[in-house]
């Protein structure tokens, strides 16, 4: 028989639904675009601060997880002209400028540049499946890049949500992303990320990072048959 709901669980479900609604609303807000020299200068400073803050947060999380080198070199391509200039022109403040560029042009050159150089994005691991008519599919992602992906998503949620950040925020964003369907994200890699973010939502940051360091990184854990650690 299904478990009987309690006032506490109903309140938790209500808060969860409210957080999802807020996230959807933020994604629907009109995109901003720099058109004057003053706006470009303001956006350049703001974007530099945003990506540097994000990078610092990822470095801290990666160090605590036991992968400091990945944290150090994380997202260096964001400082390249191809990505940085797009970030200046389409700076939003509450979400990625790549989304605004995609809305304006139908695709994002900055994102195409970024995803091909950063292994912590599942899109990096997509390829054509042989014998399937050229269908693009996701492949299993090595464990250490899955952990960096976890750190990246936590840091991004902190940067964009600011004071509204909760330990459940990264999981809520992933849930919203997965409802879109047809993602080229290997199902076992997606499930592993979900478990890590769910652990964060239920147990908090300190305990989750200790768990990842001891049980995943130091143990060189491989989460699925056919996957690798490195």
Per residue in 128-147, pLDDT tens?
Answer: 887 767 788 999 999 999 99
| Strand stretches in the chain, DSSP E | 126-128, 136-138
Could you tell me how many residues make up the chain? 230
- Residue 89 makes CB contacts below 8 A (sequence gap 6+) with 33, 34, 40, 43, 97, 101
Cα–Cα distance, 174 to 197 (Å, whole number): 9
Least confident of 51-65, 123-137, 214-228: 123-137
In a domain, 49, yes or no: yes
In a domain, 225, yes or no: no
In a domain, 23, yes or no: no
pLDDT band at 182 (very low <50, low <70, confident <90, very high): confident
In a domain, 177, yes or no: yes
In a domain, 152, yes or no: yes
> If you search the block for the tokens 């300190």, which residue do you land on?
206
Angle between helices 187-203 and 205-212 (to 10 degrees): 140
* pLDDT > 50? residue 2: no
Q: What is the mean pLDDT of residues 107-131?
A: 94
pLDDT band at 22 (very low <50, low <70, confident <90, very high): low
* pLDDT > 60? residue 13: no
In a domain, 6, yes or no: no
Q: Does the predicted TM-score (pTM) go above 0.75?
A: yes
In a domain, 8, yes or no: no
pLDDT band at 24 (very low <50, low <70, confident <90, very high): low
Q: What is the mean pLDDT of residues 146-155?
A: 98
Q: Which domain holds residue 174?
A: 32-217
In a domain, 68, yes or no: yes
46 class by beta-carbon count within 10 Å (0-12 exposed, 13-18 middle, 19+ buried): middle
* Structural domain count of the chain: 1
Condensed to tens digits (0 to 9), the pLDDT of residues 87-97 reads 999 998 888 89
Strand partners, 128: 136
* pLDDT > 80? residue 25: no
pLDDT band at 10 (very low <50, low <70, confident <90, very high): low
Cα–Cα distance, 154 to 37 (Å, whole number): 33
């Amino acid at each position: 028989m299904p478990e009987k709901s309690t006032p506490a669980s109903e309140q938790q479900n209500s808060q969860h639904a409210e957080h999802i609604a807020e996230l959807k609303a933020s994604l629907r807000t009109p995109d901003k675009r720099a058109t004057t020299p003053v706006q470009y200068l303001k956006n350049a400073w703001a974007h530099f601060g945003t990506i540097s803050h994000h990078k610092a947060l990822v470095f801290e999380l990666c160090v605590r997880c036991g992968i400091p080198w990945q944290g150090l070199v994380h997202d260096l391509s964001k400082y390249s002209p191809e990505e940085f200039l797009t970030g200046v022109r389409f700076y939003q403040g509450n979400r990625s400028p790549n989304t605004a560029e995609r809305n304006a042009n139908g695709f994002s050159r900055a994102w195409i540049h970024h995803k091909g150089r950063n292994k912590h994005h599942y899109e990096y691991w997509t390829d054509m499946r042989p014998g399937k008519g050229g269908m693009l599919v996701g492949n299993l992602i090595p464990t250490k890049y899955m952990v960096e992906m976890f750190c990246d998503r936590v840091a991004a949620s902190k940067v964009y949500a600011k004071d509204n950040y909760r330990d459940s925020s990264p999981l809520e964003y992933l849930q919203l992303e997965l409802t879109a369907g047809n993602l080229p994200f290997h199902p076992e890699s997606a499930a592993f990320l979900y478990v890590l973010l769910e652990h964060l939502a239920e147990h908090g940051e300190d305990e989750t990072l200790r768990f990842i360091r001891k049980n995943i990184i130091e143990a060189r854990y491989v989460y699925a048959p056919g996957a690798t650690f490195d």
